[in-house]
Structure 1
């Protein structure tokens, strides 16, 4: 197990793009930490940190955290940290509060409180805001949830990694010195992506559990009337929200909460139903039915119609 002096730890932190400064004056040659840390950049904006260490001094140090989501937990040991003004005590063995899951809107301080003899086996994952937006580009529901998460700053969200993730984390912390470099890299990459999916799922479920305000419930009810009557056909979701007196993010969340599907998907279903009725009752041509459903091309309309009703428009007609 490597022993880091004060100077070596500061140099290592600087090489990773960070900075560690001890509050109390300390000689450069003072041994401060025994252990190891591995950093794996899975993608531009996704970084996995694995560490097993033992404090050799008391006191506290601070670093800077970049904007984005940071999730961390202990496999064993204890840690006492603070992000911004929020202090967290993590306990890997007792599992009383084993995790942190925070979003930072902007760079903020990360403080670690040291205690001589204290040990920890820690896993931490950082998801940058730019990476999250790239992954959710085109996903209206996911983007809406991300927007709400990104309004928070340094709040610790409820999250607990499942048993399979804990088992994989334990193996990664145990095998770090022995694993072959290629095998190690592949193990870390797959683990980081699985951990990212678990974190985002936890945030999604937390959002779905949040109750709707009375005002938002009225907005969703009124929107449903507009969609059924066709009044909303020419409106974007932003325009719908503005006319209802809310915002597009909350309107999407409220509608998903009440109907189990996005506004756009529900609207497509309703317009296809109106087209079906026009074909059956009014015997309109297929191209007219396509226009009713909001499709510019009959081929796209026919494919969507068959997926919805199991028969093509021409067969139904």
Structure 2
């Protein structure tokens, strides 16, 4: 593999591989237990890649690749370039394993399963646009979390917030209140809000809203539930409000998604 700046978004499954002398094992889980992972890395020269034998479970991975000269190609002046991103790209096998939020996961799923109404000539443009959205998130992550944060989140805090996230995912069907979440997870409201955003780049209820929409999308595709049922899964009492939020999140209305995933109709 030649020099490049690359990000893998593992939506489901696991993979082990070597890049030159560096070993990677990424496990995003499966089914209801999946926890998407992301790997961003720089290859500064020709690199050997060796894939280890995979498992029998499906692997769903999205790859966003750009040349190391992408800032030149986009005519970004030297003064406008993030020094942290530039430093990251200047080192061979610089890498970061990180957990994408619902925003990045949603974009990756749009790339993996684009709207069926897209014509062949528009599909590359659509995927490139979604890929640029992820590139923005990657550069923001590199800038704000990897290098410049003078107070990195302690491992104990991150572990605690991971437990909070698990708590939320287990109770997405409930009427969640910030006071109850703080009390049940052993923290104060103010501390919970600050630490959760520090760890995941979004508020508690941004995470809850996006996670509910993801579950509603999965219910539409896999279980063929009605639009009203999907709205309930997402926590909306109004199907119209749900459709608006769904389109803002995934780029298409739920009725269109449901019609393209009806029995007998298969994705291309």
TM bucket normalised to smaller:
0.3 to 0.5
Higher normalized strand content (fraction of residues): 1
Of structures 1 and 2, the one scoring higher in RCO (CA 8 A, sep 6+) is: 2
* TM-score (norm. length: structure 2): 0.47
Structure 1 or 2, whichever has the larger Rg, is 1
